[in-house]
Amino acid sequence: MTRIAALALSVCLTVPCLASGLPRSSPEDQGIPPSAILEFVERAERRIDALHSVMVVRHGHVVAEGWWAPYDPGTPHELYSLSKSFTSTAVGLAVAEGKLSVDDRVIDFFPDEAPDEPGANLAAMRVSDLLRMSTGHESEPSLRAADDWAEAFLAHPVPFKPGTHFLYNTAATYMLSAIVQRATGETVLDYLRPRLFEPLGIDDPRWGTSPQGVTLGGYGLSVRTEDIAKFGQLYLNHGRWEGEQVVPESWVGAATARQTSNGSNPGSDWDQGYGYQFWRSRHGAYRGDGAFGQYCIVLPEQKAVIAITSGVKDMQAVLDLVWEMLLPAMGPSPLPPAEDDRAALEARLAGLTLAPPEGPGSNATAERVSGTTFEFPDNPRGIESVTLRPEGEGTTLAFRVDGEERRISCGHGSWREGRLAFERFPEQPAAAAGAWTGDETFTARICFDETPFVASLRLEFSGEGLLLDSEANVGFGPTGHPRLVGSPAGGSAP
């Protein structure tokens, strides 16, 4: 069965799906008109490029869920900084077990890594300062190039008194992970397995580590969309899950409360205060979130949780759409059945897909250049050549990178799934689609569907040469690459 077929079977708005851990319900039974959710999806497609999944939970029941193919319900998605809220949970559990206190000094956990004569501000920094992003730093410590990440953090200047200056600081979350490991003897991932992941039925969570073998903490966790929703429901339930107190209620309250001020713009969901690795939001909500639009939104007043994964540049736009379309639709009582609207919503959710390139699968240029190898001068990306060939109902691009062949098999009008090594990135799950978007231009999109990233390649066969442009949908820096200009191997015209 393909993942797209599995997606169609997974959409169950009215039939309970007990094996997943969260029961299903119709939107109407939980006080939400299906038309409001449908309009949310439609507006997301018009305004936002692009959501990858959405799951709406009300009163503990999933009332709507959908994945934009090639994303699907069974594949984990990288969470980026949404990972921080899970690390906070590990700290709370360790505090409850008496392994540490939020009032403990940070340097006391790292006697070998701390400076011989720590400054007064560093010496005063406590676990609570790490949790609320008030370490006293003026700039975030850079850890990746360091030989020892904890040592690099502790060597970074601390010009402000801890607790007085908010600075979003992923390195601080790494230190929380390292502290949990020092205090418990286990990585945060291993520590959370029996205490959080297994009770919630979160299977096979993946989380990277530093060179020192410490769970990254501030990023790097990958789980499924429903796992995000379960985590939010746990917090909405004040730490209880299926009758058991999985996380102390006192920790849930402290972690999601406003622990520090971080701005004054009433229209920004990033200026509403910060808790213990959770953001306060407008409308009485709170959330964990991660780069490029990974969200676990908890609305206590509405008894709702919204889980979203995406690859977006404007994260505020996603929250604005939630407040605009979903929040006001959550009524206090069940609604009469709306079969036609619900059927329309089910059909729309089952057919969601990221748009593949539009155009014919072949044309005169395709026939002219098929099988011709175009070579490129030396370039920082190591791309030596590319050859385009028809393949069934699609097209294969054969790249040669640093002496190795890398094949991209593109479906036409649909996503072709598999694994590929792209440029100098290692082999990983991906799906690709392509089309002739102009008389001389072939465009391919490559979706790395365990991540937010979608790459676009544009091959323009201009005259006897080839112009290659590429760009990613999102990134932490520039998303485009300089154009490469290729020519037929041996100098002969195709």
Question: pLDDT digits over 110-119, tens only?
Answer: 999 999 999 9
- CA gap 444, 457 in Å, rounded: 5
* Locus of tokens 């990983």: 428
Mean pLDDT of 301-329: 98
Are residues 381 and 459 part of one domain? Answer: yes
Asked if pLDDT for residue 16 goes beyond 50, the answer is no
Asked if pLDDT for residue 392 goes beyond 60, the answer is yes
Domain total of the chain: 2
Tens of pLDDT, residue by residue over 414-423, are: 999 999 888 8
Mean pLDDT of the chain: 94
Confidence of residue 391 (pLDDT cuts 50, 70, 90): confident
Tens of pLDDT, residue by residue over 181-240, are: 999 999 999 999 999 999 999 999 999 999 999 999 999 999 999 999 999 999 999 999
* Pair 436, 446: CB distance under 8 Å: no
Burial of 350 (0-12, 13-18, 19+ CB in 10 A): middle
Percent of the chain with pLDDT over 70: 95
Confidence of residue 18 (pLDDT cuts 50, 70, 90): very low
Domain range enclosing 224: 77-328
Are residues 270 and 151 part of one domain? Answer: yes
Asked if pLDDT for residue 10 goes beyond 50, the answer is no
Number of Cβ within a 10 Å radius of residue 448:
20
Are residues 170 and 319 part of one domain? Answer: yes
Are residues 390 and 284 part of one domain? Answer: no
Q: pLDDT value at position 295?
A: 98
Asked if pLDDT for residue 4 goes beyond 80, the answer is no
Does residue 121 sit within a domain? Answer: yes
Of residues 494 and 446, more confidence is placed in 446
List residues bridging with 387 in a β-sheet.
373, 398
Are residues 149 and 89 part of one domain? Answer: yes
Q: Compute the chain's Rg from CA coordinates.
A: 25
Does residue 7 sit within a domain? Answer: no
CATH of the domain at 93: 3.40.710.10
Are residues 245 and 106 part of one domain? Answer: yes
Q: pLDDT value at position 6?
A: 38
Are residues 405 and 272 part of one domain? Answer: no
Are residues 257 and 160 part of one domain? Answer: yes
Mean pLDDT of 78-106: 98
Does residue 4 sit within a domain? Answer: no
- CA gap 58, 36 in Å, rounded: 14
Tens of pLDDT, residue by residue over 139-164, are: 999 999 999 999 999 999 999 999 99
CA 146 to chain centre: 26
- The dihedrals phi and psi of 88, each to the nearest 5 degrees, come to -55, -40
Does residue 344 sit within a domain? Answer: no
Are residues 299 and 154 part of one domain? Answer: yes
**Torsion region of 409: left, alpha or beta (phi above 0 gives left; psi -120 to 50 gives alpha):** beta
**At residue 437, what is the residue type?**
T
Length of the chain: 494
Are residues 323 and 376 part of one domain? Answer: no
Does residue 14 sit within a domain? Answer: no
Does residue 60 sit within a domain? Answer: no
- CA gap 362, 360 in Å, rounded: 5
Does residue 100 sit within a domain? Answer: yes
